[in-house]
Amino acid sequence: MNEILNLLTGLAVGLNLLALGTSRLRLLIRAVAAQGVLLGLLPLLLEHGAMDWQLVFITIATVAGKGFIIPTLLHRAMRTANIARELEPFIGYISSLLLGAAATIAAVVIAQHLPLFPEHVGSLLVPGAIALILTGFILLIGRTKAISQVCGYLILENGIYLFGLLLIHATPMLVEFGILLDVTVGIFIIGIIVDRIQRAFDSLDTRKLTALHE
């Protein structure tokens, strides 16, 4: 079980680097969505055989939210905002990749200095979570386009979710709360879409007004 868990977490960390290195928003969104699905499956692996409705709920909500609903919204926002690439980020792609790698190494070092339960020692859960959180910050700070920043926030949020899995047995509630963060993201994106539509209407209105005036 632990092997598969580590493999999934490792893949999620790998997707970080894809997200950091690409300038294409479409690819960025896909990477984040794939990461969400990978992480969404983890609760099923953590529970050794026993299935309860809470776990199933968390899994379904996470996979649906992070893997499908939010990426769809993001794609829509991308179309309404009519941008496909992040052209001039604050932090260049090579620098962000190197920063991401440094963050991953730092995550491993930090995780080694944290006292963990024996069952969490060998797993990539904690270092993976820290790496995701740091990567999310790099994207949040380093990108200029709103959609890339939202993706950064999503990765940050994925990291927190991964971290929350440490507590899934004791306080599954905290993990469920993490899903509420997705709501925040949803509002982010809706904000982008609404703003675009509003601006379109604004310009339309102004033209109408001059037309009546003449």
Partner 1 sequence: MEVLDILARLLVWLVLAPLLPGIINKVKAWVACRQGPPVLQLYFDLARLWSKGVVMSTMASPGFLIAPAVAWVAVVAAAMLMPLGRAGCIFSFDGDVLLLVYLLALARFSTAWGAMETGSAFEGMGAAREVSFAVLAEIGIITAILTLALESGSISLASMFTPPPGPGAALLAVGLFIILLAENCRVPFDDPNTHLELTMIHEVMVLDHSGPPFALILHGAAVKMMLFSALLVQAVLPLAHMPLGLSLAAMAGGIVLVVVAVGLVESLTARLAFRRVPLLLTIGFLFCLFPLLLTWMEGVL
Partner 2 sequence: MKSLLLILIPFLGAILSALWPSNRTRPLFLPVFALAHTLLAFWFLTRPPGFDPAAWLAFDPLARAILPGVSLLFLACAVYAVSYLRLHPQDNRVFVAALLLVLGLLSAGHQARHLGILWIATEAVTLAAVPLIHFLGTPRAFEATWKYLLVGGTGIALSLLGSICLGYASLHGGGSGDITFTALLEHGPLLSKVWVLAAWVLLLVGYGTKMGLAPMHTWKPDAYGESPGIVGAILAGGVTSVAFMALLRIKSVIDAAGESVFASRTLLGLGLFSTLVAALFLLRTRDFKRMLAYSSIEHMGILSIAASFGAPGAWAALFHIWSNGLTKGALFLSAANLQRAAKSSSMDDVRGMSLILPRSSRIFVAGMFAITACPPFAPFFSELLIIRVGLGAGQGWAIGLFLFCLLLAFLGLSRIVFAVVDGRPRLKNPERIHLKETAGIIAPSLALLVASLWLGLFTPQVLRDAWSAALLQLFAQP
Name the nearest CA neighbour of 76 among 201, 196, 202, 198: 196
Interface with partner 1 in residues 118-147 (CB under 8 A)? 121-122, 127
How far apart are alpha carbons 85 and 210 in whole angstroms? Answer: 35
Residue among 80 and 95 whose Cβ is closer to partner 1? 95
* 7 contributes a contact to partner 1 by CB under 8 A: yes
28 alpha-carbon distance from chain centroid = 10
Contact in structure between 159 and 138 (CB atoms under 8 Å): no
Q: Whose structure tokens read 């829509």?
A: 76
What backbone phi and psi angles, to 5 degrees, belong to 169? Answer: -80, -45
> How many residues bind partner 2, per CB under 8 A?
34
Interface with partner 1 in residues 9-68 (CB under 8 A)? 10, 14, 17, 21
How far apart are alpha carbons 48 and 43 in whole angstroms? Answer: 10
Interface with partner 2 in residues 162-191 (CB under 8 A)? 163-164, 166-167, 169-171, 173-174, 177-178, 180-181, 183-185, 187-188, 191
156 alpha-carbon distance from chain centroid = 6
- Least Cβ distance, residue 80 to partner 1 (angstroms): 29
- The option from partner 1, partner 2, none interacting with 105 (CB < 5 to 8 A, set by class) reads partner 1
Question: Taking the alpha carbons of 80, 83, 84, 89 in that order, is the dihedral positive or negative?
Answer: negative
- Collapsed DSSP state (helix, strand, coil) of residue 180: helix
In the chain, the amino acid numbered 181 is: L
* 60 contributes a contact to partner 2 by CB under 8 A: no
- Least Cβ distance, residue 67 to partner 2 (angstroms): 19
Binding site for partner 2 (CB under 8 A): 113-115, 117, 133, 140, 146, 149, 153, 156-157, 160, 163-164, 166-167, 169-171, 173-174, 177-178, 180-181, 183-185, 187-188, 191, 195, 198-199
Binding site for partner 1 (CB under 8 A): 7, 10, 14, 17, 21, 93-94, 97-98, 101, 104-105, 108, 112, 121-122, 127
